[in-house]
Amino acid sequence: MRILGLIPARGGSKGIPRKNIVALAGKPLLAYTCEAALGSHYIDRVVLSTDDEEIARIGRDCGVEVPFMRPTELARDDTPSLPVAQHAIEWLREHEDWDADILVLLQPTSPLRRAHHIDAALDIMLENQADTVVSVVEVPHRYNPYSIMELKNGLLQLFLPGQTPFDRYRRQTVPKFYARNGPAVLITKVSTLFRDQSYYGALVLPYVMDEIDSLDIDTPYDLEIAEFLIGRGLREGF
């Protein structure tokens, strides 16, 4: 069984210019994901998919493979990640006769996700023969669907009104909900990826991460939080 770690990192970014290689605590953001992927005990190859020469150079300096440059048509703002992953798998198959059985998609915007997170998610995948394992974080109580309100005609109303079998105002009684945290780790069978044209097959299992390790760099504020946590040594493993 061959496991491919794929890091998608195109050159364009609107919220944070050159986000994938912006400096974070003294090194490029991309470096954190490269280190995590290379530290996995399961991943056989770590490949960077990018359209950008500078990102490719930094990826190589970090020790990951950049066997191809991503085609321009797969590096637009509105390009979904699925065809990017399929392109990488097909390129390796056609040009290097290397077939992946499992894909581990690792976004470079999750710097606090580390090798042990990847391996723990892969343990779930392998032990349960799942089609997909995706990392999630528990939704904070204040954002729980039963706590959310919306404005209608200028008035606040519950988004999910009506009676509930629990007290919606007591955190201990409200059902837990989970949200994808980027996702920081997304694992799928390659067969699922092509057969279903989706990362998500019939059997999808969660890998629950804590709120801090789930930090996803989307805004300059997220970058400041990560800089504080890593730069001040408030998160172990860095």
Best CA proximity match to 84, nearest among 64, 70, 97: 70
Residue 173 is predicted with a pLDDT of 87
For residue 138, what are the contacts with CB-CB under 8 A and spacing of at least 6?
176, 177, 178, 208, 211
Task: Check the CA dihedral 117-118-120-125 and report its sign.
Answer: positive
The Cα 106–Cα 127 span in angstroms is: 21
Task: Check the CA dihedral 84-86-90-93 and report its sign.
Answer: positive
The Cα 126–Cα 103 span in angstroms is: 12
Best CA proximity match to 10, nearest among 61, 79, 64: 79
Residue 238 is predicted with a pLDDT of 61
Calculate the alpha carbon distances from 159 to 18, 150, 152, 155, 213 in Å. Answer: 37, 6, 10, 12, 29
**Axis crossing angle, helix 53-61 with helix 29-38, rounded to the nearest 10:** 50
CATH number of 3-135+179-231: 3.90.550.10
Per-block mean pLDDT, blocks of 10 residues, the chain (238 long)? 96 85 95 98 98 97 98 90 97 98 98 97 97 97 91 93 86 91 97 97 97 95 94 65
Residue with tokens 């493993």: 237
Contact yes or no for 120/136 (Cβ under 8 A): no
The Cα 162–Cα 164 span in angstroms is: 7
- Helices and strands: H and E segment counts in the chain: 6, 11
- The domains of the chain are located at 3-135+179-231, 140-175
